[in-house]
Amino acid sequence: MDIKVSQIANLPSRFGKFKVKAFKEGDKEHLVIFKEPLAEIPIVRVHSECLTGDAIGSLKCDCRDQLEYALEMAEKTNGMVIYLRQEGRNIGLLNKINAYALQDKGYDTIEANHQLGFKADERTYEIVTFILHHFGIKKIQLLTNNPRKIKSISDVEILKRIPIIIKPNKFNEEYLHTKKEKMGHMLEE
């Protein structure tokens, strides 16, 4: 795996004073946001990019709420957010918008991806292990609802899973139901 790694820079934000480091994997550039000194067993959130949610505040998903919760948690606990550039469960922005159009016609998020010729979830997480090893992290507390993330992280011990419980709204209730029922997401504490 040929990965380029940036220097560490300061990132003051409305969530706290963080450090950031970028990792370039092929054509994808991932960002690690962390609070120093990192906790001995840090709380880590692996967050996949969602431009419509993270940046624009779309109510169709819970991505922005999860990201903000994770950044607040990283600030409070000297933790880390690994921001992976895999838009739309790694189908890209154009296909994600096409999936949104299919959802507007009644398909759920998984059915829409299938209609476009994709698996329900195309994301990969190999880079996460590389990043954690880069920081010398051997044990984490993983902030996630996604059982696939738990299974995909190797060579790092996950001591605890911490759920992210976000109150649904009228625009994302069906989306969250689909994540729970069809993808096994653990949406309760």
CA atoms within 13 A on the CB side of 78: 6
CB distance 169 to 152 below 8 Å:
no
**Identified catalytic residue from 45, 64, 89, 123:** 123
**Identified catalytic residue from 121, 148, 155, 161:** 121
For 101, which DSSP code? H
Collect all residues with Cβ–Cβ distance below 8 Å to 183 and sequence separation of at least 6. 110, 120, 121, 146, 148
Q: Is 121 a catalytic residue?
A: yes
Q: SS3 of 127, please?
A: helix
Sequential DSSP letters for 23-83 = EEETTEEEEEEE-SSPPSS-EEEEEE--IIIIIT--SSSSHHHHHHHHHHHHHHHT-EEEE
Active-site residues, by number, are 121, 123
